[in-house]
Structure 1
Amino acid sequence: MTAPVSAWRSAKEALRRLLPNSRKPPQMVVWGFAGVTALGTLLLSLPISSANGQPTEVLTALFTATSAVCVTGHIVVDTGSHWSAFGEVVLLGLIQIGGFGIMTFASLIGMLVARTLGLRMQRTAQSETKSLEFGEVRRVVVRIILLALVIELVVTIALATRFIGLGYEWGRAIYLGVFHAISSFNNAGFALWSDNLMPFVTDAGVLVPIMTAVVLGGIGFPVLFQVGRWLRGRLGRWSLHVKITLLTYGSLLVAGSIAVTMLEWRNPATLGPLSVGDKLLAGLFHGITPRTAGFNALDVGEFNSATLLVNDILMFIGGGSAGTAGGIKVTTFALLAFVIIAEIRGEPTVHVMGRRLPSALQRQALTVALLGVGVVMAATAALLVLTPFTLDQVLFESVSAFGTVGLSTGITADLPPAGQLIIVLLMFIGRLGPITLASALALRERARRYELPEERPIVG
C-alpha cells in the first residue's frame, strides 16, 4: 500500500502545482482571462457566429476573442461583415468582461448569490480593482459597474442620436450606439465599418462622444471616483496617484495631439485635404486614441514615420492604472521621470508633490517598464524574421498589441499564423501587465534571509 499511496501523493502534488494557486490573486486573474478567452474562442468559431453560417477558423476565433477580452481591437477579419449579429454580441460581451475585469465580475456574481464576499474572493477582486482595503472591495466593485454602465448609457444616447440624424433607422442607430459606446469606454477600438471611423473623420457628433468615453475609461476608476467626490464637495484633497495621473495623462494628450497634427498637417493622404477645423478635430482624435483605444479616423498606414514613432511612444505608455487602458501606465512613466530627475539632482530619495516615493515603488516601475521593452523588442525581432514588413510597420504592430491599442498599419491580416500567435501573446501579456503575469507564474514567494557584501560596478 505504501507505493500506491506515495504515487498518489506525488500525483496530487504535481497537479497542485499545475493548477492555479487560489491564494495568489494575480494568478487567478490570469486564469480568469485565459478561461474567458477560451470560451470566447469556442463561441466565435461556431457557425452561428459568422455572417455566412460557416465555422470560423480556430486561429481567427482565438485572435478575435483575445483582442476582445484584452480590449485591444486588433482584427484579422472585418468585424462588420464577417461576424453575424450573434458574433457581434459575443464580441460585446467579451469586451465588457475584459473592461470590467474578470475578477470584478466574479465578485459581483458572488455578491448576488451569497450576499457576501469571502476573504479569498475579496483578495481576488482587490488584485483587479487596485483597491486598498478588503472591506472596500464590495463597494468599489458596485461603483465600477454602475459608473461604467452610466457612462456607456450616456455615450449610447449621444451616438444613437447622431446616427439617427445621419439617416440610420432607429433600431440600427441604437445598436450602433450601444456597440461603439461599449467599445470606446472599454478602450477596445472595435468598429462595425470596414474602415473603422474614417467615414466620420469630420463628424464631431460621432468623434467627440467616442473621445470622451475613451478618456473616461482609460484614465482609471480611482481617478474618476476621487474627481467625482471632489466635484460633489466630499473630498478636500486629491491623492498623489490622482495628481500624477491627471497631470501626466493631460500633458501626453496635449503633446500627442499637437505632434500628430503638426506632423500630418500637409500629408495629402491624411490631414492634408481637410479644412483647418477638421484637421484639429482629427488631430485631437488621433492624439487620444493611441492611449489606448485603437479607433482610427485617418488611414494609419499612410502616416509619416515620425508620426508612427509618436504613436509608438503614446501606445507604450498607455493610460491610467485600474482603468480600461493598457500600456505600462502613465503613473509608471511619471515615476520613472521623477526618479531620473532626483538622480540628476543628486538627491538620495525621490520626492513628488510633498510626498516621498518608497524605493519598492521605484523598483516596481522600473521592472514594469523594462519588462515591457523586453517583450516588445523580442516580439518585434521575431516578426521581422517571420514577415517581409518594414521595421516601422512591425514595431508599430508589436507596440499596439502590447499596449492593447489595436491600431495597425494594415499588416495584421497578412501576418503568418506564427506571427498572429505572437500578437495574441502580446495582447494577453499587455492586458494583464508584466508584473501581474510574472507574479501569477511564480510558484512561491522567495524571501532573502541574508545580504551579501556591497560592491558598486561602474555605471555609464
Structure 2
Amino acid sequence: MRFSLPGPTTKSSAPSPANLRRRPAQLVTLGFLGAIALGTFLLSLPMSSTGRRATLIEALFTTTSAVCVTGLAVVDTETFWTPFGQVVILVLIQVGGFGVMTVASLLGLLLSRRLGLHTRLLAAESAHTVGLGDVRQVLLGALRFTIVAEVLVATVLTVRMMVAYDAGLGHAVWSGVFHSVSAFNNAGFSIYSDNLVRFVADPWVCLPICAAIIVGGIGFPVLLELWRLYRSGRGHWFQPRRWSIHTRLTLLTTAVLLAAGTLVFLLAEWSNPKTFGPLDVPGKLLAAFTQGVMPRTAGFNSIPTGELNNGTWFFSDILMFIGAGSAGTAGGIKVGTFAVLAFVIWSELRGDPDVTVFDRRITRTTQRQALTVALIGVAAVVLPTFVMTVTTTTFSLDAILYEVISAFSTTGLSTGITATLPQWHQLILVALMFLGRLGPITLGTSLAMRERQRLFRQPESAMIIG
C-alpha cells in the first residue's frame, strides 16, 4: 500500500513523484537550519556570554556544534557562556539529538511505505525495525526511552557529585543533567574546562557517561526491536538468533570496535607520561575503555587528546569515521555501512557469488548504497583536509585531519587547535558538521527512494581491476 499526501487531487495541485522524493530531505534540512539560526541568535545576545558579546562566528559555530551534537568548540563552555547560554546549548543538544534519532526513524518509515507489498514483506522478514510501524509509536517510543535513559544517568551523576566532590545540590543537579543529555545525544559538551579529565579515574562518572553514549549511539530501531522482544515475555531479547540482521550487525560490530578501541588505547598509551603514565592499573583500564568509547562520535575526553601519540590519533580517526548505529544520536558513516563493506570484501576474497551475513543474502542495492555513502564520506574528509593543509603552515597534517574527521563524524574530539584556526577554516568545520549530521541520513534514504525498475539491461562488459 502506498501512502499519499492529503489535499486536492486535481492534476494542477497534485505533487509530482519527484517532489515527493525530494520533500523529506528538504524538510529535514530546513528544520535543522531553522534551529541553527535561532540558536545563533540566542547565543549572540549579551545575556548568553560573560565579559563580552559572542561574535557571529562563535555563536554560529557553537550552535551548529550543539544542534549537530558534535562538541567542537571555539570558546570555553564553562567560562565563556553564562548559565543562560549553557541552557541554550543544552536545549539545542536535546533538540538536535532527539530530532536526528526520530527523523532517521521516520524517514525509514516513509521509505517502507513507498515500497511495494512484496518488498515490504521481505524487509519485515529480514529487518524487524521501525519501517512497518506507525509514526506515533516511533515518536513516543523514542521520547520515552530518551527521558528514562537521561534521568537515570543524571541521577547517578548528581549523587556522585554531591557525595564525592562536595558539590552543592544546584551545581550537582545541573552537572548531572547537562552531562547526561550531552552523553546520551553523543554531543561531548561539558561544563568543565578540562572536559572529563578531572574524573579520569572515577568509574561512577565515566562509566554512566559511557553507557549513555553507547546506548544513544546504537540507534532507536535496535532499541525498539530489543524492547519488543523483551515485552513478548519469551526471553528472546537476549537470543541473537531471534534478532534481525540489522540488530545483529549493529551490536556485533559495536562490540568489536569497542574492544579494539580499548585495547589499542591501552597498549599505545600505557607508558605515555602525559596520558596514561601517571595512572595505576585500574585507572589505565578505565581510561582506556572511556577513550575507546569516545571516538564512536561521543566527543568527551578523560585525558588530554592533544597529548596522544600520533598512532593513537590515527586509530581514533578510523573509529570516528566509522561512527555508531543508524538512526541513533551518533555520526560517522555508521557501523552498518562498515560491516556491509567488510562482508563484501570477505565474500570477494573467498570468491563467493553472493554476500551472505548470518544466513541472509545482502542485496546488491544495499551493497551499492554502502559503497556510495562510504566513498562520499571519504571525499568529504579528503577535500577539506587538502584545502586547510595547503592554506596554512601552522598546523600539521595529522592535527588538521583529526579535526576534519571529528567535525564530519560529529564526534567533537579535538587536538586543541579548533579555537586557533582561521575563521574561514572554522566555517569549513561548520559546513562539515552540518553535512556529517544530515548527510548520511538523507543520502541513504534518498538513494533508496530513488531506486527504480528498468525494463531492459545493457550488455555486460569486463574491466581489468588491480
Scaled by the length of structure 2, what TM-score is found?
0.86
Deviation at 1:121, TM superposition (A): 13
Shift of 1:225: 2.0
Structure 2 stretches of 5 or more lacking a match? 1-11, 115-128, 237-241
How far did residue 307 of structure 1 move?
A: 0.4
The answer to whether the 8 Å contact 1:103/1:125 transfers is no
Distance 1:124 1:25, change over 3 A: farther
Q: Which residue of 2 aligns with 1:264?
A: 269
| 1:398-442 deviation line (CA, Å, top 9, x unaligned) | 11111110000000001101100110111111111346158779x
- Residues 125/207 of structure 1: CA separation in 2 closer, same or farther (3 Å cut): farther
**Would you say the 8 A contact 2:262–2:291 is kept in 1?**
yes
Query: Hey, what's the Cα distance between the residues in 1 that align with 2:143 and 2:426?
Result: 33
Corresponding position of 1:69:
67
The residue identity in structure 1 corresponding to 2:309 is N
Aligned counterpart in structure 2 of residue 90 of structure 1, from 84, 88, 92:
88
Question: Could you tell me how far apart the structure 2 residues matched to 1:337 and 1:105 are?
Answer: 27
Distance 1:61 1:290 in 2: 25
- 1:115 corresponding residue in structure 2: none
CA distance in 2, matches of 1:196, 1:244: 32
CA distance in 1, matches of 2:443, 2:260: 31
1:258-288 Cα offsets, whole Å, 9 max, x none, are 1011100000000011101100000100000
The offset of 1:139, in angstroms, is 0.3
Following superposition, the deviation at residue 230 of structure 1 comes to 3.4
Say whether residues 1:277 and 2:276 are aligned partners: no
Secondary structure of 1:193 counterpart:
coil
1:163 Cα deviation from its structure 2 partner: 0.4
1:299 alignment counterpart: 304
Query: SS of the residue aligned with 1:366?
Result: helix
Report the counterpart of residue 339 of structure 1 in structure 2.
344
What secondary structure, in the 3-state scheme, does the structure 2 residue paired with 1:290 have?
coil
* Displacement of 1:235: 6.7
| Preserved contact between residue 25 and residue 442 of structure 2 (Cα < 8 Å) | yes
Alignment-derived partner of residue 421 in structure 2:
415
Question: What residue ranges of structure 1 are gaps of 5+ in the alignment?
Answer: 1-12, 108-118
Offset of residue 102 of structure 1? 5.9
Which range moves more in the overlay, 224-233 or 262-271?
A: 224-233
Distance 1:338 1:103 in 2: 26
Q: Aligned pair 1:431/2:437, yes or no? A: yes
Percent identity reads 53
Query: Equivalents in 2 of 1:59, 1:396: separation in Å?
Result: 21
Q: Deviations over 1:168-217 (max 9, x none)?
A: 00111001100000000000000011111111111111111101111110
CA contact (8 A) 2:197 2:303 kept: yes
Shifted more, 401-410 versus 226-235: the winner is 226-235
Per the alignment, residue 193 of structure 1 pairs with 192
* Residues 276 and 103 of structure 1, relative CA distance in 2, 3 Å threshold: closer
> 1:349 & 1:211 partners in 2: Cα distance?
37
- Give SS of 1:309's match: helix
Distance 1:434 1:253 in 2: 22
2:423 is aligned with what amino acid?
P
Report how far residue 82 of structure 1 moved: 0.8
RMSD over equivalenced CA pairs, Å: 2.8
1:26 shift after superposition: 2.2
CA offsets 1:283-333 (integer angstroms, 9 cap, x no match)? 100000110110001011010011001100100000111110100111110
2:399 paired with 1:393: yes
Aligned ranges for residues 180-259 of structure 1 at < 5 Å?
180-232=179-231, 233=233, 236=236, 237-259=242-264
Instruction: Look up the SS of the partner of 1:24 in the other structure.
Output: helix
Q: In the alignment, is the contact (CA less than 8 A) between 1:270 and 1:299 conserved in 2?
A: yes
Deviation of 1:219 after TM superposition, in Å, equals 1.0
Distance (Å, rounded) in 1 between the aligned partners of 2:35 and 2:443? 16
